[in-house]
Amino acid sequence: MSSIKIESVVKEKNRMGECPVWEERENALVYVDINSQKVCRWNSVTNEVHSVSVDDRVGSVALRKSGGYVIALGTRFAFLNWEMESVTTITKLEHDKPNNRFNDGKVDPKGRFFAGTMAEETQPGVRARCQGALYTLFPDYSVVKQLDQVDISNGLDWSLDHRTFFHIDSLAYAVHAYDYNVHTGKIVLYQLEKEEQMLDGMCIDAEGKLWVACIDGGRVIRIDPETGKRIQTVKLPASRITSCCFGGKDYSEMYVTSAYDGLDQAALAKEPRAGEIFKVTGFCFFQLKDLNILGWLVLVQIWCAWSRFKCTCILMFLDCHVLYSCLFNLLALILLIC
């Protein structure tokens, strides 16, 4: 069994920390603080946090191959030049919905930027329903609306074979799956249990399992998309858990963002670490460095299937001595692949 370890790596408080992305070339975690209107970058080597302020609430950030970032802020897509601290608008959407803003976003396996919108609250706990949508920004800067009538477009990711798209509409209290290319056959994968509150951001691990942040639930949960069952829970020292991603040198570390907005003074006194960013280690699986490295992915999947078949045969036909030898060789193979 794994021994989960949780530590706070960014002590600087975030009003609404969200959308963590690991930037390998900088050994850094990039994320946004939505309500503070800034994009932040924590350097894992120097432990320093730098940020760039923008002119609207920024829901999500993604890496550009050429350097810099693409962001979704207000109701527009834009480029962020980190060195110049400048924002260049690509396009503005939803001119007829002044109370909307972009929320979570992520780049798909082919480099297209998906991001969704939501209506802001007009007063605490009150917002217009079904005002949001999910959009795709293509490399040629064209934009396509993928989903409509969304309440709070939130966590999103793709299956390891890239054939299934997972999406969270927070007020639906469920994760939905779509055939990736034609967006048909919506399936409700996971219905929340009471203590998990509302689903927020999401990522996927090397075994194809989903990790979902539960805002106001104080945890991230691991879900098997094949069965819709929760298979692991990691509780964190803050209730408003917003999103997660894998990072670090070998991508074996999970980074989890949180928020302190929405907590009153009494709640903040009980949660001194609210708004910090946490690192979770000690998982029993290894994480793939890049989901786009399809050759390695196929190799690992074939190896896993063969290992399960081989061990089944051994259990049926061989004695314990040979079994121990097989397990030793299997462990050596795991270490070699890692």
Say which CATH number the domain at 129 has: 2.120.10.30
Determine, yes or no, domain membership for 126.
yes
- Are 268 and 333 members of one domain? no
- 20: confidence class by pLDDT, cuts 50, 70, 90: very high
Contact 82, 41 (CB under 8 A): yes
Say yes or no: 60 and 157 in one domain. Answer: yes
- Token couple for 247: 């990072």
Q: What is the per-residue pLDDT for 330?
A: 59
Residues 247 and 320 in one domain: no
* Predicted confidence (pLDDT) at residue 21 exceeds the cutoff of 80: yes
pLDDT at position 1: 47
121 is in an annotated binding site: yes
pLDDT, position 125: 81
Does residue 235 fall inside a structural domain? yes
Please list the residues that pair with 267 across neighbouring strands: none
Same domain for 313 and 167: no
Determine the Cα–Cα distance for residues 166 and 261; give it in Å rounded to an integer: 27
The per-residue pLDDT for 41 is 98
Residue 3 pLDDT grade (very low, low, confident, very high; cuts 50, 70, 90): confident
Mean pLDDT confidence for 171-180? 90
Residue 287 lies in a domain: no
Q: Tell me, what's the pLDDT at 291?
A: 40
Q: What is the mean pLDDT of residues 303-332?
A: 48
The residue ranking higher by pLDDT, 75 or 125, is 75
Q: What is the pTM of this model?
A: 0.81
Q: Are residues 258 and 298 in the same domain?
A: no
Same-domain pairing of 249 and 318 = no
How distant is the alpha carbon of residue 49 from its chain centre? 20
Query: What pLDDT was estimated at residue 193?
Result: 77
Q: Which residue would you say has higher pLDDT here, 240 or 306?
A: 240
166 in any annotated domain: yes
Which is more confident, 337 or 10?
10
Annotated binding residue 154: yes
Is 18 annotated as ligand-binding? yes
In a domain, residue 272? The reply is yes
**200 is an active site residue:** yes
Tell whether the model's pLDDT for residue 176 goes beyond 90.
Answer: yes
Which residue bears the tokens 């907590």? 263
| Catalytic one of 55, 200, 250, 261 | 200
Q: Is 100 annotated as a binding residue?
A: no
- Residue 203 falls within a domain, yes or no? yes
Is residue 105, in this structure, part of any structural domain at all? Answer: yes
**Does residue 15 lie within any of the structural domains?**
yes
Q: What is the pLDDT of residue 335?
A: 54
Shared-domain flag, residues 307 and 163: no
Give the pLDDT band (50/70/90) at residue 325.
Answer: low
Choose the most confident range, by mean pLDDT, from 70-79, 108-117, 125-134, 300-309.
Answer: 70-79
Residue 16 · residue 259 · CB < 8 Å: yes
Query: What is the pLDDT of the chain when averaged over all its residues?
Result: 86
- Span 280-289, average pLDDT: 72
Judged by phi (left if over 0) then psi (alpha if -120 to 50, else beta), residue 216 lies in left
Q: Domain range for residue 195?
A: 5-281
Of 255, 281, 307, the position where a domain reaches its end is: 281
Whether residue 285 is predicted with pLDDT greater than 70 in this model: the reply is no
Domain count, the chain: 2
178 and 218 share one domain: yes
259 and 173 both lie in a single domain: yes
Mean pLDDT over 323-328 rounds to 52
Percent of the chain at pLDDT above 70?
81
Regarding whether 299 and 273 lie in a shared domain, the answer is no
Same domain, 179 and 311: no
Q: What is the band of 190 on the pLDDT scale with cuts at 50, 70, 90?
A: low
Those residues whose C-beta lies under 8 Å from the C-beta of residue 19, and which sit 6 or more positions away, are 31, 32, 59, 60, 61, 104, 105, 106, 201, 243, 257
Q: Residues 191, 212: one domain?
A: yes
Better pLDDT: 301 or 282 = 282
